[in-house]
């Protein structure tokens, strides 16, 4: 990958993004708290963490797809010009979605039109985003399908006639048509066997190239290792560490205890799951949310650790101070 141009604005600059949901009884559930990261053209960032940690909520916030009871704070600036959190629905629908941000959804069945064939949906997207003439639609649709190994003889089927894996590939093909500068892939390998996982992430990497950015949300660390330049680890709504992928998966490994726990749970590693359960997002502790599951927890952990040196952990900060 060509190093990012330091003079160019990032494709995505997320500053203090927070999301909370207002519940009927008057309480709030904090799903995302103070998320901060940047993505430059050519970069691929994998956001990882256990289910329910807020990864997909963050993705929905970037596209303006949160429910009405959601409240957002902070900024998420696209290409140095559009704050995705403040943009109107008109701007998001006509300027952002598909054109500047391509989405590979977590639940493709909810994004595919049930009463139209996959071919018809590809044709519509090609006309809308590429202005493909009618005479070229058939060939262009088959090329789009081939990019993600979607079988041509299934193009005239409806979404309900597809397996989960084929529906995922159809959604991926639609997301790639616009050649958007930012691709947001929310669990893009769900339901795929390992060969197709590798093919899908390789295609996402090829699409990124040196001119586009990729934010991939995943629980599949093998997929993250194959594609990502950097890893952002999320726990209980907070990003607790951002680290180079070579460091995360290398001999040195990540520094946050939760990040290390994710790696140790892999079959090819220690195969030791993290003990305990994540806290409820509606009842988060005042201090470090991981303390109840952490062998290194101490009195300092009663206070929320700052995000210093790209990791939020009192013990890591103390070790750095004594280095």
Residue 321: the pLDDT is 59
Please answer whether residues 125 and 175 qualify as being in contact, where contact means their C-beta atoms are separated by less than 8 angstroms.
no
Burial-class residue 272 by CB neighbours within 10 Å (0-12, 13-18, 19+).
exposed
DSSP 227-294: H-SEEEEEETTEEEEEEEHHHHSSSS--SSHHHHHHHHTSTTTT--PPSS-PPPGGG--SS-TTGGG-
CA distance linking residue 224 with residue 231, whole number of Å: 8
For the segment 123-175, what is each residue's pLDDT rounded down to a tens digit? Answer: 999 999 999 999 999 999 999 999 989 999 999 999 999 998 899 899 999 99
Which of 154, 150, 144, 151 has the alpha carbon at shortest distance from 123? 144
3-state secondary structure 27-65: CEEEEEEEEEEEECCCCEEEEECCCCCCHHHHHHHHCCC
CA distance linking residue 230 with residue 224, whole number of Å: 9
Please answer whether residues 112 and 167 qualify as being in contact, where contact means their C-beta atoms are separated by less than 8 angstroms.
yes
Q: Which residues of the chain have pLDDT under 50?
A: 323
Helix, strand, coil percentages (3-state) for the chain, rounded to 5, are 35, 20, 40
Query: Given its phi and psi angles, is residue 238 left (phi above 0), alpha (psi -120 to 50 degrees) or beta?
Result: beta
Angle at 305 between CA 217 and CA 258, to 5 degrees: 45
Q: Strands 44-48 and 70-78, how do they pair?
A: unpaired
Torsion on CA atoms 20, 89, 76, 316, rounded to nearest 10: 30
Domain 12-100+180-322 annotated CATH 3.40.50.300: yes
H or E segment and range at residue 83: strand 82-83
Task: Give, in order, the Cα–Cα distances in Å from 226 to each of 42, 43, 56, 200, 276.
Answer: 15, 14, 21, 11, 29
Polymer length in residues for the chain? 323
pTM of the model: 0.92
Task: Give, in order, the Cα–Cα distances in Å from 121 to each of 114, 144, 212.
Answer: 10, 11, 24
Please answer whether residues 117 and 174 qualify as being in contact, where contact means their C-beta atoms are separated by less than 8 angstroms.
no
Q: Which tokens belong to 244?
A: 């180079």
């Amino acid at each position: 990958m060509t190093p990012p141009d330091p003079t160019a604005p990032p494709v995505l600059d997320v500053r203090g993004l927070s999301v909370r949901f207002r519940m009927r009884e008057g309480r709030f559930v904090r799903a995302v708290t103070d998320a901060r990261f940047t993505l430059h053209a050519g970069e691929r960032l994998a956001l990882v963490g256990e289910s329910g940690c807020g990864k997909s909520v963050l993705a929905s916030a970037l596209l303006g797809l949160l429910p009405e009871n959601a409240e957002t704070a902070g900024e998420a600036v696209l290409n140095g010009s559009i704050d995705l959190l403040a943009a109107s629905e008109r701007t998001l629908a006509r300027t952002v979605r598909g054109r500047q941000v391509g989405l590979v959804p977590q639940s493709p069945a909810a994004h595919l039109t049930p009463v139209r064939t996959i071919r018809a949906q590809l044709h519509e997207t090609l006309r809308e985003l590429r202005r493909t003439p009618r005479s070229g639609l058939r060939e262009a649709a088959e090329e789009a399908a081939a990019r993600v190994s979607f079988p041509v003889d299934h193009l005239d089927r409806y979404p309900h006639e597809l397996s989960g894996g084929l529906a995922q590939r159809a959604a991926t093909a639609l997301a790639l048509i616009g050649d958007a500068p930012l691709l947001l892939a929310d669990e893009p390998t769900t339901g795929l066997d390992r060969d197709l996982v590798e093919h899908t992430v390789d295609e996402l990497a090829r699409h990124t190239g040196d001119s586009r950015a990729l934010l991939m949300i995943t629980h599949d660390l093998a997929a993250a290792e194959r594609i990502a330049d950097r890893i952002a680890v999320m726990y209980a709504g907070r990003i607790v560490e951002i680290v180079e992928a070579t460091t995360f998966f290398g001999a040195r490994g990540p520094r946050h205890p939760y990040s290390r726990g994710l790696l140790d749970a892999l079959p090819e590693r220690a195969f030791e799951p993290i003990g305990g359960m994540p806290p409820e997002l509606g009842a988060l502790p005042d201090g470090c949310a991981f303390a109840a599951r952490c062998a290194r927890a101490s009195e300092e952990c009663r206070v929320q650790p700052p995000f210093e040196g790209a990791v939020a952990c009192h013990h890591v900060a103390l070790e750095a101070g004594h280095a």
